[in-house]
Amino acid sequence: MKRVDESVFRLDGRVAVVTGGAGGICSAICRAYANVGAKVACLDYDGEAAQALAASIREAGGEAIGLACDVSDEQATLAAVQNIKQQLGAPTVLLNGAAVLDRTGSILEIDPQEWQRVMSVNLTGVYLMSRAVLPEMIAAGGGSIIHLASMHGRVGRAGRVSYTTAKAALIMLAQNMAMDHADDGVRVNSLSPGAVATRRITYRYGENAQEQLKAAAQKYLMKRFADPDEMVGAALFLASDASSYMTGADLLVDGGYCAA
């Protein structure tokens, strides 16, 4: 039996940019990328948290920098990419993970300012960051872009109108970018997790809502929420040469929610 060439999962010498890098899922992804040889730029609105994560990666033997970046600000994204290029080199991997916490409510309950804030970060921020990175990535010979979407980009959820709309748009944005930039050597895919045990869950259900959390988990075939580390393998796959023939796709990692 032919052995799998594990080197296809390596990111040696590649510069990986992760937005929302200090968050629960994305911090695990930053560490994983560094563990397989990438030079990692951890970007987050909370610059101190991004710098602390980068420092912990360096202490573990990896190479990383942490930068403050508001992805909804075009000039901030352009400046961040130039900073990354100067310190690490041209980006060849981009994982767009920045997202704000959204309040539960219908369109009658979510005011225009709340709606716009979610769209500005969760959707327009991906557009702006991709737009800032793409010229450098193309000049470097290509790379991989990953939009962190959600299973709720495929199936609706009552009271999550802004979140689900933005995540559905990310899946289509990845498809269109894949079409536009295949000839540039750039692959673009989306990654759609199910519920992951991060602060978004405690924000949604509250710190002590154990019965609600237990009931919500029963909607998944695996009867539980994911750990952030369970998203790492999919994010590494999409960034690496292991997915070299994959573009314009949405990788669903949802514990069986959409199949139930």
> Which residues are catalytically annotated?
163
d(CA 34, CA 46): 20
DSSP state of 109: T
Q: State the CB neighbour count (10 A cutoff) for residue 107.
A: 11
What pairing do the DSSP bridges indicate for beta strands 93-96 and 15-19? Answer: parallel
CA-closest candidate to residue 144, choices 80, 237, 220, 51: 237
The H or E element containing residue 33 is helix 24-35
How many angstroms separate the CA atoms of 145 and 133, rounded?
Answer: 9
Q: Which amino acid is at 29?
A: I
DSSP string spanning 116-183? HHHIIIIIIHHHHHHHHHHHHHHHTT-EEEEEE--GGGTS--TTBHHHHHHHHHHHHHHHHHHHHHGG
SS3 202: helix
Cβ contacts of residue 35 below 8 Å, gap of 6+? 60, 62
